[in-house]
Amino acid sequence: MMTLLAFMATIGVLVIIHEYGHFQVARWCGVKVLRFSIGFGKPLWQKNFGKDNTEFVLAAIPLGGYVKMLDERELSDEENPIKYSEVDLNRAFNRQSVWKRIAIVLAGPVANLLLAIVLYWGLFTLGVTGMRPIIGVVDENGLAALASLKSGEIIQKVAGNPVNTWQDARWALLEESLENKTVEIEAINNNNELLQHTLSFEGIDNNAEIDVLIKIGLAPFKPSIPAVIGEILPDSAAEEAGFKLNDKILRVDGVGVGDWEQVVNIIKVSPNKKLQFDVERAQKTLNIAATPEAFDDNDEIIGRMGAGVKLKQVELDKLLITLHYSPLISLQKAIAKTWDTSIFSLKMLAKMMTGKVSLKGISGPLTIADYAGKSANLGLITFLGFLALVSISIGVLNLLPIPVLDGGHLMYYVAEIFKGSPVSETVMVTGEKIGFGLLGLLMTIALFNDFNRLVAG
């Protein structure tokens, strides 16, 4: 249910913002708007508003929307004199200057990019929490080991640019891997010594699905956390079994456990299986039998007890960092992040088209729904970050020069500027057929990847 609601919220917000961009700029340009529809197909709700009596519609298929403007090319010969006066026809979209038409078409994608800027601005202003870029396990056969990167080092810069969190480091490494064969990494060790590493990207698999850290053999640092219970959810398997706060788990089914991660790993692979826990409580050892509940995690059935680890604030402070920025700096960073993400998306698309990056990175509605649900479960801040990222993707996708998309119309209008007259009806009809074919192929690849991920999951 959370996944469905989060997906509907994501699509609803992004479609409304996109179409409102077209709608508002069309009104500013004096164009008569006939309909503003959220979704396609049979109307579930409709009502007319405004001086133009614009029809607002909520339709049955919520995967998109559209703004219908008065356009003589879409009217029959009988409709012109019957429905619309000459005053109305002068407000038709097709009678507007090419510059007004460009502004109206461009407004949708721009609205999505502006939404991303607003969301990122809010997140940067409120404060961004992330894991410090402390190196954990280094694959001895990986590229990171060849670059002499070692566990415990803290990454300071990637390609000369400062990084504060693992998210920053991952993003910087991903960008560099697409453009360069090597990258300079600056780090400090436990003795506070400044180290310079040259990391090679030679031979890595250009698969957008695989985390760049996995490709180079790096993992974030995970501290060894004692297996002491600090939280018990109501009506959970842990509560029913009789666990108490501050219980220290010593053994599970006779196997000694050194930290909380070992306990979690045993529970995850034991759904609906009775386990015997040896627990230390008030300097006494007790035996508690408990059966982890089966839980569907992204189509994988895992065990879950409903108990959380006890963490000291000092341990969290060592692992996490929260960055706050002033409203002005937040705006600058929001614009920069939106720009960088947009350019990165275009680079990825170009490399997919040339075969340099796998097409497996193309995601469809099922993957978007999955990530919408996961981000919503992690909290509002995470969900808003996800919403900003998808909004950028929608904006960039619509600017591609593919007929039937906004970018395709812009391509026609640019040609009209140089040609001195609109492109012919034949060219537009042919372009629409090509555009629908390309979109159909893109959607087929996206759905194929979605189903493959579900089967693999």
Which residues are the active-site residues? 19
What tokens does 394 get? 């929608």
- For residue 334, which of 369, 371, 384 has the smallest C-alpha distance? 384
* DSSP string across 403-441: TTSHHHHHHHHHHHHHHSSPPPHHHHHHHHHHHHHHHHH
Q: How far apart, in whole angstroms, are the C-alpha atoms of residue 142 and residue 228?
A: 34
Q: Which residues contact 403 (CB under 8 A, 6 or more apart)?
A: 409, 411, 412, 428, 431, 432, 434, 435
Classified as helix, coil or strand, 261 is helix
Handedness of CA 248, 253, 259, 261 (dihedral sign): negative
- What b/e string do you get for 71-108 counting C-beta neighbours within 10 Å, with b at 16 or more? eeeeeeeeeeeeebeeeebebbbeebeeebbbbbbbbb
Rg of the chain over all Cα atoms, to the nearest angstrom: 27
- For residue 250, which of 225, 226, 219 has the smallest C-alpha distance? 226
Bridge partners for 308 per DSSP: 231
Q: How far apart, in whole angstroms, are the C-alpha atoms of residue 394 and residue 417?
A: 26
Handedness of CA 15, 20, 21, 27 (dihedral sign): positive
What tokens does 101 get? 């038409």
Q: H helices within 210-277, ranges in order?
A: 212-216, 237-241, 260-268
